[in-house]
Structure 1
Amino acid sequence: MTQPVEDFITLDGGDGLKAVFSPAGAQLVALYIPTRSGGPVQTVIGSSGRLDAPDGDGWAGTICGRYANRIAGAGFTLDGVAYKLPANDGTKQLHGGASGFGHLAWQGEKAGGQVVFRLDSPDGDMGYPGALGVTAAYGFDGHTLFLEMTATTTRPTVVNLTHHVYWNLLGKGDILGHLLQIPASRYTPVDADKIPLGPLAEVVGTRFDFRDKRPIAGPYDHNFVLDAGRGALHLGARAIEPVTGRALEVWTTEPGIQLYTGEHFTPAIKAPFSEQIKNAGFALEPQTFPNAPNEPSYPSAVLRPGETYRHRIEWRFSGF
């Protein structure tokens, strides 16, 4: 199944900002920002806008769930009940499985100056308990693109929704020279399968110390433990393209953020609004921690009936 271009939804933010979305994974396909020279630059990398595109990146630009990132052993225990999930990354489940939210067609429409997507995930979907009702609303507020995600469940379950957009503030080339700052004093070390080892580690004296801005360099595919924790909207990361001065801040209500430097990108990955080379884009994925359902010391990912999961992400642009 492919997603026809006619289904793309465009939202004009004014002042030269414009976003293009697809119901395929509630995907951000393109984001144009103004430049000092006047012409816009397209900053989203690798989003195909289609489902099951054989030449596309299956996660780029999508909302990942029901549980974003990795769950060790493709399973977890909740309230004394063991749940087995279908593995799609070796022995692990990644981003909710082969039919996770980023690989599903959402219902989308323009409403009240926003683009609102909805998805109903049935009880047992990809092994998870509870019927989940999910809403994702994108909109502009000045030079900020925001995403408000909510979910409710009919049974106790685990939820971790994130957005897997890849950015390149220059719009071309690689991103290794972008400057990056992450307000995180700790990170989650991982094993060879990229599963967190449990205890948190200090970033001081390591290549994971982005408390002061420095070039991304890479490679990275790691979760950073934000000093602000979970709760009120807070800064998750700041990126600056040093030649043009264009800047992006990622704000979140979640306690962690995953940095991935696009090691897998090649020209074989096709997208309607960008070209790919290795390290063509960086992903900054706000989230709770990978494998949290199996690590009691990590921030909880449990959602129960009567509660509402809420996660707000803001991408704040400047320098133009």
Structure 2
Amino acid sequence: MNDPQIEDAGTLPDGRQVQAVWLGAGRLRARVLTLGAIVQDLRMQGYDHPLVLGATDPTRYLTSHRYLGAIVGRFANRIANARFTINGQTHHTDPNFLGRHTLHGGDDGPDLMLWTPLDVSRHSLSLALDLPDGHMGFPGKLSITARISVLDKALQIDLSATSDAATPCSLTHHGYFDLDGRGDIRGHSLQIDADRMLPLDSDQIPTGQVSAVDGTDFDFRKARLLGDTRLDHNFCLSTAPRPLRLVATLEGQNGLRMQVQTTACGLQIYDGAHFQDLPGLDGRIYRAHAGLALETQHWPDAPNRPGFPDAILRPGQTYQEVTQYCFLD
């Protein structure tokens, strides 16, 4: 692969210019945007379809294609009732989910922002973003760095952050994967190394219980077809971040496998049931279940749940998370 060049990728309605760069190593290539640190496209030699869902027009990431392939935060997933308390002070965050809860850090999230490129090589791109104190109601200036790398057969996401005040912090790559290119992931099989998950209430907020998967539709300890199992749930990998380890394997009907390795303590699985005739890469149309999101992160609503793993980043600490999506055939 030739030395990478940052190229123009389109102009947003407010005049902001989006840039892009192709990264590659071995059989794998990825196109990354400065908008939202989005992995717009991912290709593996020997397969004629993209491995992720994406949009050719970056303006779509502001509306219909929101979160696809982006880095989301400052607290990924949901915070109940759009509020939490730290050191006796209650903070009210943007209620952008059902008008009463916070999703992915609020309506003005990092996925909508232009990140600043720090350095680029043939294999990796580092991007930086600062979220000011009080942004979406969260305390502290949060300084985020994302390094997106393409290894021989893996897409690696390195996320780090610091804050000048105690604040919830959970960042994740929100890519949707389709290993077959058939536009329906219900024929994929999934295995997850988790014996517990978080039940949800009618608003998709964790009830506070931590339930065993044994004997339920959420038991993926042995690989099985996704089928019609409705999934938008957190699987409990551990009670604190751990060294990089294998936590899940997704396999398509074509034999291509994707192993997920992460340092995170939670894995949110979402089946993309909301997609409705969205224009995608290579002229594809994304309908319900077009892709599967495997989001490595802290447990949702952790700031309001003392029994959940601690998700508060404090001054002097550095948030760090590494995730690899490894492709094998």
TM-score normalised by L of structure 1: 0.93
Among residues 195, 204, 208, which one is paired with 2:205 in the alignment?
Answer: 195
Distance 1:6 1:305, change over 3 A: closer
Give every structure 1 segment of 4 or more consecutive aligned residues whose post-TM-superposition deviation is greater than 3 Å.
1-6, 46-49, 51-55, 271-274
Instruction: Confirm whether residue 86 of structure 1 aligns to residue 94 of structure 2.
Output: yes
- 5+ residue gaps, structure 2, are 1-11
1:100 equivalenced with 2:109 (yes/no): yes
SS of equivalent residue, structure 2 residue 187? coil
1: CA distance, partners of 2:261 / 2:55: 21
Matched, 1:163 2:173: yes
Matched, 1:290 2:300: yes
In structure 1, what is the equivalent of residue 120 of structure 2? 111
Cα deviation 1:154-208 (Å, max 9, x = unaligned): 1111100011100000123200010000010000000000100112000000000
Report if aligned partners of 1:22, 1:49 keep a CA contact under 8 Å in 2: no
Cross-structure match for 1:303: 313
Distance 1:213 1:134, change over 3 A: same
**RMSD over equivalenced CA pairs, Å:** 1.9
C-alpha separation in 2, matches of 1:240 and 1:28:
20
Match for 2:23: what amino acid? L
Q: Hey, what does 1:240 align to over in structure 2?
A: 251
Cα distance in 2 for partners of 1:49, 1:138 equals 21
Distance of 1:49 and 1:189 partners within structure 2: 37
Aligned partners of 1:79 and 1:48: how far apart in 2?
45
The answer to whether the Cα contact below 8 Å between 2:61 and 2:112 also exists between their aligned partners in 1 is: no
Letter in 2 for 1:100: G
Q: Partner amino acid for 2:166?
A: P
5+ residue gaps, structure 1: none
**Which residue of 1 is the match for residue 25 of structure 2?**
13
Tell me which moved more, 19-28 or 112-121: 112-121
| Residues 255, 234 of structure 1: alpha-carbon distance in 2 compared, 3 angstrom cutoff | same
Deviation of the 1:255 alpha carbon: 0.8
Amino acid at match of 1:9: V
Assess, with a 3 A threshold, how the Cα gap between structure 1 residues 6 and 46 changes in structure 2: closer, same or farther: closer
Structure 2 distance, partners of 1:47, 1:180, is 25
Amino acid at match of 1:30: D
* Residue 56 of structure 2 is aligned to residue 44 of structure 1: no
- Name the structure 1 match of 2:242: 231
Q: Once structures 1 and 2 are overlaid, which stretch shifts more, 219-228 or 310-319?
A: 219-228
Q: Are 1:63 and 2:71 an aligned pair?
A: yes
